[in-house]
Amino acid sequence: MTRNRLKSLEFSRAIPVAILFLLFFSSSYLISQESIRFEDHFLDKAMRLNLYLVGEAKEEKLIIQSIYQEELWPESKTNLTNPFNYGHYFVKVYEVASNRLLYAKGFDCQFGEYKTTTPAINGVQKVFQRAVRIPWPKHRVNVVFEVRDRKNLLHPLTVETIDPEDYHHIRESAKSGDYIFEIKKSGPPAERVDLVFLAEGYRAEEKEKFVGDVKKFSGYLFEVEPYRSNQEKFNIYGVFRASAENGPDEPRQKVYRNTVLKASFNALDLDRYLLTEEGFLMREMAAEVPYDAIIILVNSQRYGGGGIYNDYCITTVDNQASKAVFLHEFGHSFAGLADEYYTSDVSYNEFYPQGTEPLEPNITALLDPENLKWKELLSPGISLPTEYGKEEIERLQAERRANFQEMNRALEEVRKKNLKEPEIKKVQTRFQEKDKAIQARIRAVREKYRDLEDKVGAFEGAGYSARGLYRPMIFCIMISSPKMEFCRVCQRAIQQMIDYYSR
Ligand SMILES: [Zn+2]
């Protein structure tokens, strides 16, 4: 009560100051907004910068390898300095003549993830390709690449002055004779979200299967919110190039296949992590159509995928979990969402440094609960952090594991004594009964907190960490969702990204 009154008093006092401020500064503010008009500084074309990122955990280099011209600029012509603060890297374009910032956008790359792995920490150097696009400048510009430190502050990594007239820039046509098709066309590329699906591991005779898969996966997207209510803001294309063989590489199985984009499981030496390291070729294929976001469909039944912010998402098509994998990975690549799960089955070391707020919109370190980044969406009266029986369930799950191990030990004993089938059965039943009882207790805990399932709070366990990181709701496609829904915070972040590309 008292606090609210104080707030309103402060507010009324603040109004005259705000008006004065507006009177003094609105004219110059308008000038600066007006003066960064797309057509004053850029042609309606894209400049694709092919980059190599090389190094290890402590040291990295970013080198521009080549520059390509793309036929048109399909992204927004009004949101030039990107309202989002996502991505561990940033590209910024400054006009040489005035040093004014003309364009900025954050991005991630596989090298950024590699830096947090044990080999990188031990000094093993690696090199990765990454292509980044900016609108084609009319005049000379300084292009600055920045990288974040462990506190998420940006520092310059590479600065390059680019003359758009330089004849070394490659202006060849992107058309390479691939089979190109359109699934959905709702408006001009600069005012729509343009998705391109690329074929990986489909043989020539499987062209129609790929077309069917593109239809199927676009359909998956529009089954969930907020994509469902924004269908008319999307254009969808497919690019088919035949691979010599089916499916991706599976190094742990010693299976290697000759495919267009050389996609491979066991990225960062993880079983299910599927990526391509052909970043340049992927962008060449994508550039055959206007695109904002790339989706690679891999013709395989195995479970797996990957997604890198503002780069691409990749998924297999014929696994029963493919739909969930696609929606989840596209959440990473398109909307900059974080993983909300907290299993330890990752190769990263302290991916989110303690004491630093993560960049992503859907997880938090809860360093300042009063100013939680999704505070507008919190359910009224919810406690922060939100107790949801996590400790109790984890204790019971540990009890289940211990019981299972004990059963195996007991069965080993029975076998050593050469006892007969009824004796084995008796031992098994004893442990199975105990397991059923523990499961019932887990269900009871879940039931106790059932009311929280549609609430927005701050639930501990997110971003590969069981402690110290929080997610907005119990269920979400970024952790797991029985109803196949994004939590309300992820929905808002996706909506903002759709608006960014389509306004
Ligand atoms: Zn979420």
Beta strands in 71-192 (DSSP E): 89-95, 101-107, 126-137, 141-148, 154-162, 179-184
Q: Tell me, in angstroms, the distance from the centre of ligand 1 to residue 129's CA.
A: 30
Structure tokens of 251? 């190094």
Q: Tell me, in angstroms, the distance from the centre of ligand 1 to residue 40's CA.
A: 39
Q: Tell me, in angstroms, the distance from the centre of ligand 1 to residue 185's CA.
A: 29
Which domain-ending residue is among 136, 162, 188? 162
- pLDDT of 415: 83
| Distance (Å, whole) CA 443 – CA 466 | 20
Which domain-ending residue is among 286, 315, 336? 336
Q: Tell me, in angstroms, the distance from the centre of ligand 1 to residue 489's CA.
A: 6
Q: Where does the pLDDT of residue 55 fall: very low under 50, low under 70, confident under 90, or very high at 90 and above?
A: very high
Q: Tell me, in angstroms, the distance from the centre of ligand 1 to residue 294's CA.
A: 21
Q: Tell me, in angstroms, the distance from the centre of ligand 1 to residue 478's CA.
A: 5
The answer on pLDDT for 73 being more than 90 is: yes
Is there a domain that residue 466 lies in? Answer: no
Is there a domain that residue 64 lies in? Answer: yes
Is there a domain that residue 500 lies in? Answer: no
Element (H, E) at 220: helix 207-221
Q: Where does the pLDDT of residue 29 fall: very low under 50, low under 70, confident under 90, or very high at 90 and above?
A: very low
Q: Tell me, in angstroms, the distance from the centre of ligand 1 to residue 474's CA.
A: 9
Q: Tell me, in angstroms, the distance from the centre of ligand 1 to residue 337's CA.
A: 8
Mean pLDDT computed over 86-98: 96
Q: Tell me, in angstroms, the distance from the centre of ligand 1 to residue 379's CA.
A: 15
Q: Tell me, in angstroms, the distance from the centre of ligand 1 to residue 149's CA.
A: 25
**Whose CA is closest to 135, among 66, 233, 37?**
37
Which domain-ending residue is among 162, 195, 212? 162
- pLDDT of 6: 34
Q: Tell me, in angstroms, the distance from the centre of ligand 1 to residue 315's CA.
A: 20
Structure tokens of 79? 């949101």
Read off the CATH number of the domain in which 152 is found.
Answer: 2.60.40.3250
Q: Tell me, in angstroms, the distance from the centre of ligand 1 to residue 65's CA.
A: 37
- In a shared domain, residues 144 and 80: yes
Q: Containing domain of residue 431, as a range?
A: 395-444
Is residue 138 a contact partner of residue 41, using CB atoms and an 8 Å limit? yes
- In a shared domain, residues 314 and 199: yes
Average pLDDT, rounded, for the chain: 91
Q: Give the number of other Cβ atoms within 10 Å of residue 128's Cβ.
A: 18
Q: Which residue has the tokens 């997110």?
A: 462
- In a shared domain, residues 151 and 183: no
Is there a domain that residue 267 lies in? Answer: yes
Q: Tell me, in angstroms, the distance from the centre of ligand 1 to residue 125's CA.
A: 34
Q: Is 156 helix (H, G, I), strand (E, B) or coil?
A: strand
The residue among 118 and 414 whose pLDDT is bigger is 118
Structure tokens of 203? 């043989």
| Distance (Å, whole) CA 263 – CA 172 | 26
Is there a domain that residue 314 lies in? Answer: yes
Mean pLDDT computed over 186-197: 95
| Distance (Å, whole) CA 312 – CA 307 | 6
Is there a domain that residue 307 lies in? Answer: yes
Q: Give the number of other Cβ atoms within 10 Å of residue 32's Cβ.
A: 9
Q: Tell me, in angstroms, the distance from the centre of ligand 1 to residue 334's CA.
A: 14
The answer on pLDDT for 320 being more than 90 is: yes
Q: Which of 80-84, 390-394, 397-401 has the lowest mean pLDDT?
A: 80-84
- Sequence-separated (6 or more) residues with CB below 8 Å from residue 232: 186, 187
Q: Tell me, in angstroms, the distance from the centre of ligand 1 to residue 84's CA.
A: 17
- In a shared domain, residues 187 and 312: yes
| Distance (Å, whole) CA 370 – CA 330 | 31
Distances (CA, A) of 46 to 71, 74, 131, 186: 7, 8, 12, 22
184 backbone dihedrals φ, ψ, rounded to 5°: -155, 130
- In a shared domain, residues 316 and 407: no
- pLDDT of 450: 94
Q: Tell me, in angstroms, the distance from the centre of ligand 1 to residue 343's CA.
A: 16
Q: Where does the pLDDT of residue 213 fall: very low under 50, low under 70, confident under 90, or very high at 90 and above?
A: very high
- In a shared domain, residues 53 and 126: yes
The answer on pLDDT for 495 being more than 60 is: yes
Q: Tell me, in angstroms, the distance from the centre of ligand 1 to residue 363's CA.
A: 8
Mean pLDDT computed over 132-155: 96
Q: Where does the pLDDT of residue 2 fall: very low under 50, low under 70, confident under 90, or very high at 90 and above?
A: very low
Q: Tell me, in angstroms, the distance from the centre of ligand 1 to residue 78's CA.
A: 28
Q: What is the pTM of this model?
A: 0.88
Q: Tell me, in angstroms, the distance from the centre of ligand 1 to residue 491's CA.
A: 7
Element (H, E) at 60: strand 60-70
- In a shared domain, residues 66 and 113: yes
Mean pLDDT computed over 384-413: 93
Structure tokens of 191? 């005012």
- In a shared domain, residues 202 and 111: no
Is residue 345 a contact partner of residue 370, using CB atoms and an 8 Å limit? no
Q: Which residue has the tokens 């430190």?
A: 149
Structure tokens of 74? 């399909």
**pLDDT tens for each residue of 272-316:** 999 999 999 999 999 999 999 999 999 999 999 999 999 999 999
- In a shared domain, residues 238 and 305: yes
Is there a domain that residue 229 lies in? Answer: yes
Q: Tell me, in angstroms, the distance from the centre of ligand 1 to residue 131's CA.
A: 28
Q: Where does the pLDDT of residue 348 fall: very low under 50, low under 70, confident under 90, or very high at 90 and above?
A: confident
- In a shared domain, residues 202 and 330: yes
Q: Which residue has the tokens 């952790």?
A: 479
SS (H, E, C) 332-359: HHHHCCCCCCCCCCCCCCCCCCCCCCCC
Read off the CATH number of the domain in which 294 is found.
Answer: 3.40.390.10
- pLDDT of 344: 65
Q: How many domains does the chain have?
A: 3
| Distance (Å, whole) CA 316 – CA 106 | 27
- pLDDT of 481: 95
| Distance (Å, whole) CA 343 – CA 329 | 17
Is residue 297 a contact partner of residue 281, using CB atoms and an 8 Å limit? no
Structure tokens of 413? 């004993």
- pLDDT of 345: 66
**Whose CA is closest to 65, among 167, 143, 173, 169?**
169
- In a shared domain, residues 323 and 428: no
Angle between helices 207-221 and 322-335 (to 10 degrees): 70
**pLDDT tens for each residue of 432-479:** 999 999 999 999 999 999 999 999 999 999 999 999 999 999 999 999
Beta strands in 430-464 (DSSP E): 459-462
Structure tokens of 250? 């599976």
Q: Tell me, in angstroms, the distance from the centre of ligand 1 to residue 286's CA.
A: 28
- In a shared domain, residues 108 and 146: yes
Is there a domain that residue 1 lies in? Answer: no
